[in-house]
Amino acid sequence: MTDQQETTTFGELTPLMSTEESKPPCVLCPTGSETSFMVLVIQGCVGLLVLVENITTGIALLKTNNLKKGLKMCLLNLALTDAIYGLVFIYHTITVNVILGVYLECYIRYSVIAAVTNLTLHTVFTMTLERIVALYAPLRYEAFVTNRNLRIYFVICWTSGIMVSFLVMNTCNRYLTQCGWLELATPMTSKIIGIYHVMVMSLVCLGNLVVFCLTRKHIKAIVPSMVGESKMAAAWRMNLKATITTASVVIPTILCYLPFSLFCFYLAYHPLAVTKMATGDALNGTFSLTILNSIINPLIYSWRLPELRATFKRMFRRGQ
């Protein structure tokens, strides 16, 4: 086995059987480079940033009372999944220089990552559905979107996301020489992940097209009565604001997750590509985009929601 074959990407953690000349693989650095202490520090800081940022945002969302119920629950769910993502990334960074040759550990590790990506896509789909309900029937929104209904829906989302991830991981390769995604995933694994992700993202895009049409209809209806203070006009104004917030979260998420889904399709139909260094570089890049999405999400919430910004200010003032 050559040094180039020993190098890995985000998923290519520690080889189960290494030679004296081989060195531990890198988590996110380009394929062919060696893991350095500085790289590990940077990776750990990125994971810690994602974890702390989203935990803080989740606490702030819990303390913000004047947000629409459905939007608040969706943002809380997204902050939780992003925090788990950061925790898993820290775990990867810590274990990159540790030989963990147990198949079960490798299986669980990537099952968690698959579940988190599924839950993120499920959440943005939920945000789209919530907007459709709010725009289609603004006066009946509170009757549809109750705390009980939201809890039931998110239990279903989490259960389905976890079940899909474990079912997909059952198609993985069980005979490994190292714990890494390029060796763990079979063409069938990559194909199922790609199809499922693209299917959910297609539903999200279709739903946002419906949201756009409903929003356009509401804008035409509300402009002549902008000076009015009727209950319907007030509900429309609030919904238009929430729609823009939802779009500012959904669109970056789709853009950041789409490359990884397309990369899975590529691996499914080009199984021999796993031996190429360029494939590892592509895996690094696509995974880096999903981490970037977890970093920018809290910034988007703060930018779009003045209520959340006010909560952050109160929290920081008390901290001082």
Identify the pLDDT of residue 2: 46
Closest CA relative to residue 197, chosen from 255, 261, 292, 259: 261
Q: Which residue has the higher pLDDT, 281 or 11?
A: 281
Q: Which residue has the higher pLDDT, 240 or 54?
A: 54
Confidence grade of residue 243 (pLDDT, cut at 50, 70, 90) = confident
Phi-psi region of 98 (alpha: psi -120 to 50; beta: other; left: phi over 0): beta
Mean pLDDT of 296-320: 84
Name the 3-class secondary structure at 15: strand
Closest CA relative to residue 207, chosen from 157, 143, 251: 251
Identify the pLDDT of residue 5: 43
Identify the pLDDT of residue 8: 42
Closest CA relative to residue 139, chosen from 230, 56, 38: 230
| Euclidean distance between CA atoms 25 and 14, whole angstroms | 6
Whether residue 136 is predicted with pLDDT greater than 90 in this model: the reply is no
Confidence grade of residue 99 (pLDDT, cut at 50, 70, 90) = low
pLDDT > 90: percent of the chain: 25
Identify the pLDDT of residue 285: 84
Mean pLDDT of 171-195: 84
Single-letter amino acid, residue 144: F
Identify the pLDDT of residue 228: 52
| Euclidean distance between CA atoms 25 and 102, whole angstroms | 17
| Euclidean distance between CA atoms 301 and 296, whole angstroms | 9
pLDDT > 70: percent of the chain: 79
Identify the pLDDT of residue 116: 92
What residues does 84 pair with on adjacent strands? none
| Euclidean distance between CA atoms 116 and 161, whole angstroms | 8
CATH of domain 3-319: 1.20.1070.10
Identify the pLDDT of residue 178: 72
Q: Which residue has the higher pLDDT, 176 or 308?
A: 308
Q: What phi and psi values does residue 178 have, to the nearest 5 degrees?
A: -155, 155
Specify the residue for token string 């259960």. Answer: 159
Closest CA relative to residue 87, chosen from 107, 108, 116: 116
Identify the pLDDT of residue 229: 56
Identify the pLDDT of residue 213: 86
Domain segments of the chain: what residues?
A: 3-319
Q: Which residue has the higher pLDDT, 219 or 127?
A: 127
CB within 8 Å of 79: residues ≥ 6 apart: 54, 55, 57, 58, 61, 297, 298
Identify the pLDDT of residue 207: 92
51, with CB counted inside 10 A (0-12, 13-18, 19+), is buried
Neighbours of 2 (CB within 10 A): 8
| Euclidean distance between CA atoms 101 and 124, whole angstroms | 35
Per-residue pLDDT tens digits for 100-132: 556 777 788 888 889 999 999 999 999 898 888
The tokens describing 146, both together, are 């109750």
| Euclidean distance between CA atoms 172 and 267, whole angstroms | 13
| Euclidean distance between CA atoms 173 and 107, whole angstroms | 10
3-state helix, strand, coil in the chain (%, to 5): 80, 0, 20
Report in angstroms the alpha-carbon separations of 198 from 37, 204, 259, 264.
37, 10, 10, 10
Per-residue pLDDT tens digits for 151-168: 888 899 999 999 999 888
Lowest mean per-residue pLDDT among 28-37, 86-95, 108-117: 28-37
Q: Which residue has the higher pLDDT, 26 or 36?
A: 36
Whether residue 49 is predicted with pLDDT greater than 90 in this model: the reply is yes
Lowest mean per-residue pLDDT among 63-72, 135-144, 153-162, 298-307: 135-144
State the pTM of this model: 0.80
Per-residue pLDDT tens digits for 244-262: 878 888 899 999 999 999 9
Identify the pLDDT of residue 271: 84
Whether residue 175 is predicted with pLDDT greater than 70 in this model: the reply is yes
**How does the average pLDDT of the chain come out, rounded?**
79
The single-letter DSSP state of residue 178 is B
